[in-house]
Each structure stands twice: as structure tokens, then as C-alpha cells.
Amino acid sequence: MVNEILYEDNHIIIVNKNPGDIVQADIGRDPTLRDAVKKYVKQKYNKPGDVFLGIVHRLDRPVSGAIIMARTSKALSRLNKIFRNREVKKTYWAVVDKQPPEKEGHLVHYLKKTERINKSFVVAETQPGALRAELIYRYLAGSERYFLLEIELLTGRHHQIRAQLAAIGCYIKGDLKYGFPRSNPNASIHLHARKIEFVHPVKNEPVVVVANPPADPVWDFFVRHDKNPQT
């Protein structure tokens, strides 16, 4: 069964990715989200032959939330351009174990990816291969054990949110790789692509999509206590 469809027309489709889904094939042979959506489109519209479905951007396997795919090559080309030009606003939710020192903040770090272990590290600006990473965070709510942050990405680096929050001592729930002490039972992490905003590549009209996080006690608590609900 395909994931929740958040938006769909003849040009693009946006789905709510489940944690654990692989967006497209890697070195393994696990089923992919792309394959599932292609099957959905083929069956719904009775498409003959192979269905075109272009990948515009990705989310890490343990991350959930809104992801855009292109149903035509024309839409794919135009979406790639607006992503390159940073004309897409992406807002994330992250559940962390400590409240940041400030309620709002603008984080700037330099990151370098280590391919061998698929992890990014904060390094000096002068280190060869270092890439500037920027995000804005805002504190939304807290429970007895966890805190909800809303994050706007200003750059798109490998594992950027995970690495930058860890650098200020705020570890994402379940993210063993970046310093949280325990993994989640389903291998997810509490990082969710909550909202995506852009101008439609063909219709030239605004598209705003909000994705609900997966159902679990922690996410459910913060959805109930969100002071600025978007759905």
C-alpha cells in the first residue's frame, strides 16, 4: 500500500514518507518508495508500460515527511531548477532531548561528510571539503523528557539538521549515529519533513503541503500541543 498522498496532479505527486522507507534504490535490494508510487500511478491511471517518476530530492531512511516526485520529465527539469535556486521552503520538526539555550536561533557550521561511515562532522571553515550549513530553529513545545523544534533549512547538506543540532548538544530522539543514547524500536529518528512550499513548476501557482508525523506517543503528544497547528 502506498504512503499517504498529500498532493497529486498530472505533473507532480507529493507523498508522506514513512520512516524506514528508502526513496530510491541503493546498493541493497529493499523495496523503494519510488517503486511503490510508480505502482500506485500505474494502477490508478491504468498506465501502459513503464511509468515515469522522477526523484527531485531525498529524505534519509529513518526520517519521515513530505517528499516531491515528478510525473513528467518537464516537471522534473523545472523542479530541479527551483531546488537548485533554493526556491523551495522546507520546514522540519525535530524532537530533541534538551531545550536549546535560546528559543530561536540561526545556526551556521561547516560540515564535511565521511563516506566510509556515511556521517557528517562539524569542521573548521578552512578544512578542505568543508561546506557551509545554515538553518533557523524555533522552540515550539516541551514535555517532561523531550522538546519540539521547528527548523527551516537554508542550505541542503548531508545530514545537516542531525549534525548541526548535535553540535549544540540537542540530540534527536532515536538518532544513535549523532549522539542520542538509544535507538527507536523501529530504527526511525524523530525528524520529520513537516511542510514544503514552492511555486508549481507548470501551473505557476503556490503549493503548500503539510505532512503529519507518524503515529507514536511522542509525536502524538507534540501534535496535540502544537501552538501553531498547520492542518
Domain ranges of the chain: 4-225
Instruction: Judge whether residue 20 has pLDDT over 70.
Output: yes
89-96 and 147-153 strand pairing: antiparallel
Architecture of domain 4-225: 2-Layer Sandwich (3.30)
Instruction: Judge whether residue 147 has pLDDT over 70.
Output: yes
pLDDT confidence of residue 49: 86
pLDDT confidence of residue 227: 59
The mean pLDDT value for 182-208 works out to 96
Instruction: Judge whether residue 154 has pLDDT over 70.
Output: yes
Per-residue pLDDT tens over the stretch 65-76: 999 999 999 999
**Given the C-alpha cell 498529500, which residue does it identify?**
6
Mean pLDDT in the chain?
Answer: 93
Instruction: Judge whether residue 169 has pLDDT over 50.
Output: yes
Instruction: Return the H-helix or E-strand segment holding 91.
Output: strand 89-96
CB atoms within 10 A of CB 98: 12
Question: How far does Cα 97 stand from its chain's mean position?
Answer: 19
pTM for this prediction: 0.93
Could you give the C-alpha distances from 164 to 21, 25, 159, 220, in angstroms and in order?
23, 27, 8, 25
Instruction: Judge whether residue 41 has pLDDT over 70.
Output: yes
Per-residue pLDDT tens over the stretch 74-106: 999 999 999 999 999 999 999 999 999 899 999
